[in-house]
Amino acid sequence: MPDAPHSPASTPLAAIHGIGPKYAELLAKLGLFTHDDLLHFVPRRHEDRRHLKPLSEAQEDQTITVRGKIHSAKPGRWGALKLEITVGPATLSNSNDLVVARWYGFRPYGIKEGSDVFLYGKVNRDKKGLWAMKQPDYEIAHEDAESYIHIDRIAPIYNLTEGLTQRVLRRLMYEATQRTPFTAPEFYPAPSSMIPREEAFRKIHFPESWPAEERARQRLAYDEFFVLQCVVALRRLSHVSTHRQRAKRAGDLAQRWLDSLPVKLTNAQRRVMQEIDGDLMQGPPMNRLLQGDVGAGKTFVAIYAMLKAVEAGEQAALMAPTQILAEQHAINLRRWFEPLGIRVDLFTGNTKNKKGDRLQGGELDLFAVKHGTSKVATDVPIGSSPKASGSVVIGTHALLYDKYAADKLGLIVIDEQHKFGVLQRLALSRKGQNPDILVMTATPIPRTLGMTLYGDLDVSVLDELPPGRQPIVTKCRSVKELDKFWAFLLKQIGEGRQAYVIYPLVEESEKVDAKSVKAEYEKLQQLLPGAKLGLLHGQLDAAEKERVMTAFRAGEIQVLLSTSVVEVGVDVPNATVMLIENAERFGLAQLHQLRGRIGRGQHLSYCVLVGETRSLESWRRLKIMEETTDGFRIAEEDFKIRGPGNIFGTEQSGLPPLRFASLEKDFDLLTRARTDAALLIREDPTLSKWPGLREKMHSGGASAVSLVAVS
Ligand code: ADP
Ligand code: MG
């Protein structure tokens, strides 16, 4: 076998022994078309099927491996095949050495009386008091002890598709990874301490030991990180060499605004503004991530940066993840900007609907630009007089897809970053002439994720809350204690405060056992007579949503029942109570965001999480919210429990799927890959020596990130 020509990894499956048209079709259902696909098909997990156990040590319900001789093979009841197997040097006279194995509906291949077999499965005492195994995995013992596939080894367990059994797939994978030669060339200079790629592929499937499995996984994980980090390093490099035309700043808008501020900036705010100054003074476009916990005062920083752009005769755009937030920002910013003679336009997805063009609402006189026509943005000459221009535009992601303002756009601020993926960010940076980008997030980003997703950004941190904030009192409670809560709530609104009540669902659902905001709205109207309730959820049309939010801000609504649409950024300082029902259905980072809606004024605030008490695990998770208001710790905990996909949503995060690497576990590996990748890119930015690496960066998952970088 060693001298057989190595099959290139792209070899079709049919070339692998044992894979005919029938299996090829089944494998296609799993997305497997080439030899390479099989190599990359990571086992879901491995099972340790070594360690033969004498039956005398077995316990009820234990999964064990035994070896024995088939003493009898007979049809059992209900079409079962019943085997009596004596284990070890046993005799039938001692029933303690007997296992009865049954298979239903099929006869295991190759099994007959007298065979020497391994069995792997769960044991239970049957009615006669004998050990019994139901449909155990098995393997006929043979001389060549090296090559057991299913048992007497650490065996891979794969995801299956209908018509393909674990056993068959494992055998095919064994052919593909152990018996059929293949090549997996090194495509970059990997650290010498790591095992070769070829070996890693063989062992990730069929490792001889747990450490061997981990070494294999680390090698392949490192490869994944390395490719991603090369993309990040190249993006940084290309960014640093981007030319950004900078106009001389004419005005003193930013200074005048600072002078007019009724509050004192925090040191952190001042520091970050200086960092932004540094970015804007010279050199390539700003490319900065601003992390700051809920309530840290990111908006002021954004305002500062936007005024700097307007001063320079440019336009600034602020993007928010939801329409509600865009509208709130519009209200907030107009308050600051109008006295300075700067017009603020609101531009939202809503403007696509013909009837939604103009928003209603007393205090709001917002001009919504119609999708695609964006007159304000393109036709108005700006720079000379800020007064005449729509110098500041606020919108949702609708801004991305519009022809809005290509020429004068000088700054894009993205608020609450986690809803915007890398792809969206790229689309943005293509607008205008290399605009400055400031990304703001309140979800503290776990380190590994940050390095991967935002590895190309400079980072500023607002690590200080404005003074005078009251801590939020947080309590986890069971549904039984709700009555007490309603009494408390009535007392609070009696004192003039307002409250949020959050539910996971809009409408009742048969599939999901959780409360819905619509149904509870009906009930609470009975339960809280006299209280002014409001209803908010994503299915309301834009005008209605705005009407509700305006009424809540104005205090006309006392208790706002809502889904998580109020999650980010909403700022009503008089709201001091929040109840979250079915809290176990939310991620911790999301709960933290929700909780951040209260504790914004001078009154003490209370957050009550009503959760499922049946599951200890989810209860413990909720308890973390009682212990800390440190968003960073909460994010790390959430990340450990739920992984990145759940925090950000994989599509949203723009993160390519990682097969071998784990952002939760592999921080050290990632750091190493990052350093090594940066070195390689510095020495050889065109990757002339490593065409395979270039190809990998372009293909597959990394393509999303690499669009700008490598092209
Ligand atoms: P976030 O970082 O969550 O976006 P905001 O920018 O909405 O926070 O600020 C939260 C609240 O704190 C707002 O009401 C804002 O006016 C206020 N605020 C921001 N900075 C300061 C400061 N330096 N001193 C006092 N209040 C501030
Ligand atoms: Mg905010």
Tell me the pairing of strands 116-125 and 137-140: antiparallel
Same domain, 529 and 392: no
Residue 519 within any structural domain of the chain = yes
Identify each DSSP E strand in 343-391 by its residue range: 344-347
Q: Is the dihedral of CA 123, 125, 126, 130 positive or negative?
A: positive
Nearest ligand 1 atom, CA 298: 2
Q: Alpha helix locations (H) across 474-541?
A: 482-494, 517-527
3-class SS of residue 282: coil
Residue 210 within any structural domain of the chain = no
Pocket test for ligand 1, best of 571, 593, 597, 602 (most atoms within 8 A of CB): 571
Query: How many Cα neighbours within 13 Å face the side chain of 548?
Result: 22
453 has pLDDT over 90: no
Cβ atoms < 10 Å from Cβ of 48: 13
Tell me the pairing of strands 116-125 and 131-134: antiparallel
Q: Is 383 left (phi over 0), alpha (psi -120 to 50) or beta?
A: left
Amino acid sitting at position 102: R
Q: How far apart are CA 313 and CA 619, in angstroms?
A: 54
Question: Over the stretch 486-537, which tens digit does the pLDDT of each residue have?
Answer: 999 999 999 999 999 999 999 888 888 889 999 999 999 999 988 999 999 9
What per-residue confidence (pLDDT) applies to 708?
Answer: 31
Q: Decide: 464 and 615 in contact? Cβ < 8 Å.
A: no
* Atom 20 (ligand 1) nearest CA: 297
Q: Decide: 705 and 235 in contact? Cβ < 8 Å.
A: yes
Pocket test for ligand 1, best of 257, 258, 260, 263 (most atoms within 8 A of CB): 263
- The CATH number linked to 84 is 2.40.50.140
Mean pLDDT rounded to a whole number for the chain? 80
Tell me how far the alpha carbon of residue 674 lies from the centroid of ligand 1, in angstroms. 35
* Atom 17 (ligand 1) nearest CA: 297
Q: Decide: 639 and 449 in contact? Cβ < 8 Å.
A: yes
* Atom 19 (ligand 1) nearest CA: 297
What per-residue confidence (pLDDT) applies to 258?
Answer: 95
Nearest ligand 1 atom, CA 265: 23
Closest-CA residue to 116 (of 85, 148, 150):
85
Of 441, 463, 489, the last residue of a domain is: 441
Six-digit token pair at 112? 């007959």
Residue 497 within any structural domain of the chain = yes
Q: How far apart are CA 186 and CA 680, in angstroms?
A: 15
Tell me how far the alpha carbon of residue 29 lies from the centroid of ligand 1, in angstroms. 52
Rounded percentage of the chain residues whose pLDDT exceeds 70 = 80
Identify each DSSP E strand in 105-148 by its residue range: 116-125, 131-134, 137-140
Residue 18 within any structural domain of the chain = yes
The length of the chain in residues reads 711
Q: Taking residues 392-400, what's their average pLDDT?
A: 80
Closest-CA residue to 46 (of 180, 296, 216):
216
Pocket test for ligand 1, best of 291, 293, 299 (most atoms within 8 A of CB): 299
**Ion ligand 2 — residues with CB < 5 Å:** 569
* Atom 10 (ligand 1) nearest CA: 295
Contacts of 364 (CB under 8 A, 6+ apart): 327, 330, 331, 546, 550
Same domain, 429 and 521: no
* Atom 18 (ligand 1) nearest CA: 297
Tell me how far the alpha carbon of residue 592 lies from the centroid of ligand 1, in angstroms. 17
DSSP 549: H
Rounded percentage of the chain residues whose pLDDT exceeds 90 = 33
Of 628, 649, 665, the last residue of a domain is: 628
Nearest ligand for residue 592 CA = 1
Q: Is the dihedral of CA 649, 653, 659, 660 positive or negative?
A: negative
Q: How far apart are CA 485 and CA 427, in angstroms?
A: 47
What per-residue confidence (pLDDT) applies to 655?
Answer: 57
Six-digit token pair at 58? 């077995």
Nearest ligand 1 atom, CA 296: 2
Question: Over the stretch 242-290, which tens digit does the pLDDT of each residue have?
Answer: 778 787 777 789 999 999 999 999 999 999 999 999 999 878 889 888 9
Q: Taking residues 360-383, what's their average pLDDT?
A: 27
| Distance, CA of 41 to chain centre | 22
Residue 13 within any structural domain of the chain = yes
Question: Over the stretch 312-340, which tens digit does the pLDDT of each residue have?
Answer: 888 899 988 777 778 888 988 999 999 99
Nearest ligand 1 atom, CA 301: 6
What per-residue confidence (pLDDT) applies to 80?
Answer: 67
3-class SS of residue 160: coil
Range of the domain at 537: 472-628
Question: Over the stretch 429-447, which tens digit does the pLDDT of each residue have?
Answer: 666 668 898 988 876 666 6
Q: Decide: 225 and 673 in contact? Cβ < 8 Å.
A: yes
Same domain, 277 and 410: yes
What per-residue confidence (pLDDT) applies to 3?
Answer: 40
Same domain, 490 and 616: yes
Same domain, 27 and 62: no
Closest-CA residue to 534 (of 507, 519, 556, 515):
556
Interior CA angle at 320 toward 315 and 326, to 5°? 85
Residue 441 host element (H or E):
strand 436-441
Tell me how far the alpha carbon of residue 397 lies from the centroid of ligand 1, in angstroms. 24
- Considering only 316-330, 546-560, 592-606, 688-702, which range has the smallest mean pLDDT? 688-702
What per-residue confidence (pLDDT) applies to 432?
Answer: 62
Q: Which residues line ligand 1 (CB under 6 A)?
A: 263-266, 269, 292, 294-300, 442, 466, 569, 571, 600
Q: How far apart are CA 561 and CA 566, in angstroms?
A: 10
Contacts of 273 (CB under 8 A, 6+ apart): 265, 301, 304, 305
Q: Cα torsion for 58, 63, 67, 72, to the nearest 10°?
A: 90
Q: How far apart are CA 328 and CA 316, in angstroms?
A: 17
Q: How far apart are CA 108 and CA 104, in angstroms?
A: 10
* Atom 9 (ligand 1) nearest CA: 297
Phi, psi of 499 (to 5 degrees): -145, 155
Contacts of 93 (CB under 8 A, 6+ apart): none
Closest-CA residue to 432 (of 388, 467, 402):
402
Q: Decide: 572 and 499 in contact? Cβ < 8 Å.
A: no
Q: Taking residues 112-122, what's their average pLDDT?
A: 84
Nearest ligand 1 atom, CA 332: 16
Tell me how far the alpha carbon of residue 333 lies from the centroid of ligand 2, in angstroms. 12
What per-residue confidence (pLDDT) applies to 525?
Answer: 92
Q: How many domains does the chain have?
A: 4
Residue 664 within any structural domain of the chain = no
Same domain, 437 and 334: yes
Name the residue with tokens 């784990």. Answer: 662
Identify the bridge partners of residue 100 per DSSP, sorted by sequence position: 84, 132
Tell me how far the alpha carbon of residue 600 lies from the centroid of ligand 1, in angstroms. 8
Residue 81 within any structural domain of the chain = yes
pLDDT band at 656 (very low <50, low <70, confident <90, very high): low
Nearest ligand for residue 336 CA = 1
What per-residue confidence (pLDDT) applies to 429?
Answer: 61
151 or 551: which leads in pLDDT? 551
Residue 138 within any structural domain of the chain = yes
* Atom 13 (ligand 1) nearest CA: 297
Q: How far apart are CA 614 and CA 125, in angstroms?
A: 31
What per-residue confidence (pLDDT) applies to 642?
Answer: 63
Residue 376 host element (H or E):
helix 375-379
Tell me how far the alpha carbon of residue 598 lies from the centroid of ligand 2, in angstroms. 13
Tell me how far the alpha carbon of residue 442 lies from the centroid of ligand 2, in angstroms. 7
Nearest ligand 1 atom, CA 299: 6
Q: Decide: 135 and 104 in contact? Cβ < 8 Å.
A: yes
SS3 content of the chain, % helix, strand, coil (to 5): 40, 20, 40
Same domain, 407 and 321: yes
In Å, how far are 78, 385, 427, 656, 694 from 700, measured between CA atoms?
Answer: 49, 48, 19, 8, 12
Same domain, 103 and 71: yes
- The CATH number linked to 4 is 1.10.150
pLDDT band at 146 (very low <50, low <70, confident <90, very high): low
Cβ atoms < 10 Å from Cβ of 51: 8
Query: How many Cα neighbours within 13 Å face the side chain of 467?
Result: 5
Pocket test for ligand 1, best of 269, 273, 300, 335 (most atoms within 8 A of CB): 300
Q: How far apart are CA 298 and CA 363, in angstroms?
A: 24
DSSP 480: G
Nearest ligand for residue 290 CA = 1
Same domain, 367 and 388: yes
Same domain, 369 and 386: yes
Q: How far apart are CA 458 and CA 240, in angstroms?
A: 11
Same domain, 546 and 594: yes
Same domain, 398 and 426: yes
In Å, how far are 14, 208, 223, 480, 614 from 176, measured between CA atoms?
Answer: 11, 17, 21, 57, 45
Contacts of 500 (CB under 8 A, 6+ apart): 559, 560, 562, 566, 575, 577, 578, 579, 594, 597, 598
- The CATH number linked to 491 is 3.40.50.300
362 has pLDDT over 60: no
* Atom 5 (ligand 1) nearest CA: 297
